[in-house]
Amino acid sequence: MISKLLVRGTNWVGDSVITIPALRELRRIFAKAHISLLVKPWVSGLFTDADFVDEVIVYDREKKGLLKTIKELRRLKFDLAVLFQNAFEAALIAYCCRIPLRIGFATQHRSILLTHALELTEEIRRSHQVNYYLHIVAQTERLLTGVSTVDFARPNCYLPVSEERRRQLLERLPMLGVNLDKPIVAINAGATNSRAKRWPAERFGQLADRLFERGLEVVFIGAATEIEITRAATTAMRNKPKILTGKTSLAESIAFLSFCRAVVSNDTGPAYLAAAMNIPTLTIFGPTDERSIRPLGANAEILRRKVPCAPCMLKICPIDHRCMITISVDDVEKKVLEML
């Protein structure tokens, strides 16, 4: 009988959104268990209103340290650890916490630390990343019950936002300069972990001017690390931009997105968040392979230009960034207006 379950989540916002269907399946399988999700501080706000976990445990190694974290987790006496993260450290934590069942893919030579090391097949590697995490859950269910009923055909990425959180953010928006009387379009010009994923910043500014002049309220969003990119996008704008970049927490950013009519973004966290909330989302793709990772949602679309060298999956383009520069402002504006 599994009464307490620990899930080691992923470390990036987009990846964390992609794990939601697998977390929902775990909730279904272990309906009566207490499910704790262990994640890094910068993604914990994503799960503030999650109805598929009981508890979010923040793993801040820099402040707390690995040994103290293990000591605290050991006291909680988990029955099962399910590792979405591939790192050796994730398995080491579960092992040192003396969790009786430890399940995850046999990556980074960590098989010896797992009670059940799952085989990562080429088929799983080639499919969309949402299936990667669903396979972990499906194999966990099969190991413990003999069968699996995990739904691969209809992954549910929906990310809930409470009315209380929306209300709190709504009170802040006028102070942040956002006009709620106009339809809001959010723009994310950054991509923290990959320069190659960035559409030219100045083109986001040109797009924003065009949308402003069509009567829309355009707001730039992003993490504090993306302030310089937002500045590069907005410096030459004809209209005074509305900027929330670095001004909201992740939980507040999610609440803000719930008020938006559309979101335009590079292939990075906000695109995955908005798509998971069923907001019309346009993601500009360049080096990424959309067959393996892309925002999922009923109103999520991508825009890319086929070039011989893409998808390359590189973080820095070694040539002329043609996968991105061949996408014009006209292309993006047309698609946004269609979505609106």
Q: Could you read off the pLDDT of 57-87 as tens digits, one per residue?
A: 999 999 989 999 999 999 999 999 999 999 9
pLDDT digits (tens, 9 = 90+) for 4-21: 999 999 999 999 999 999
Omega of the bond prior to 174 within 30 degrees of 0, cis? Answer: no
HSE-up of residue 244 (Cα within 13 Å, Cβ side): 30
Domain edges within the chain: 4-145, 163-339
- SS3 at position 281: strand
For residues 100-106, average pLDDT:
97
| Identical fold between 4-145 and 163-339 | yes
Question: What stretches of 50-118 adopt beta strand conformation (E)?
Answer: 55-58, 80-83, 101-105, 116-118
Which pLDDT belongs to residue 328?
97
Please name which of 217, 266, 264, 269 lies closest in space to residue 248, comparing C-alpha atoms: 269
**Rounded distance between C-alpha atoms, residue 154 and residue 171, angstroms:** 36
Torsion (CA) 57, 193, 84, 48 in degrees, nearest 10: 30
For residues 169-189, average pLDDT:
92
Which pLDDT belongs to residue 329?
97
pLDDT digits (tens, 9 = 90+) for 202-240: 999 999 999 999 999 999 999 999 999 999 999 999 999
Which pLDDT belongs to residue 334?
97
The pair of structure tokens assigned to 333 is 């504006």
Amino acid symbol at 244: L
Q: Using 50, 70 and 90 to split pLDDT, how confident is the model at 176?
A: confident
- Domain range 163-339, its CATH number among 3.50.50.60, 3.20.20.70, 3.40.50.2000, 1.10.10.10: 3.40.50.2000
**Rounded distance between C-alpha atoms, residue 48 and residue 50, angstroms:** 6
Q: Which residues fall within 8 angstroms of residue 317, CB to CB, at 6 or more apart?
A: 195, 196, 287, 323
Q: In what order do the strands lie in the sheet with 217-221?
A: 242-243, 217-221, 184-188, 262-266, 281-284, 300-303
Residue 245 sits at φ, ψ, to 5 deg, of -55, 125
Polymer length of the chain: 340
Q: Using 50, 70 and 90 to split pLDDT, how confident is the model at 303?
A: very high
DSSP annotation of 151: -
- Domain range 4-145, its CATH number among 3.40.640.10, 3.40.50.2000, 3.30.540.10, 1.10.3720.10: 3.40.50.2000
For residues 270-293, average pLDDT:
94
Q: Which residues fall within 8 angstroms of residue 305, CB to CB, at 6 or more apart?
A: 323, 326, 327
The pair of structure tokens assigned to 156 is 């549910």
- SS3 at position 313: coil
Which pLDDT belongs to residue 194?
86
Residue 220 CB-density burial (10 A; 0-12 exposed, 13-18 middle, 19+ buried): buried
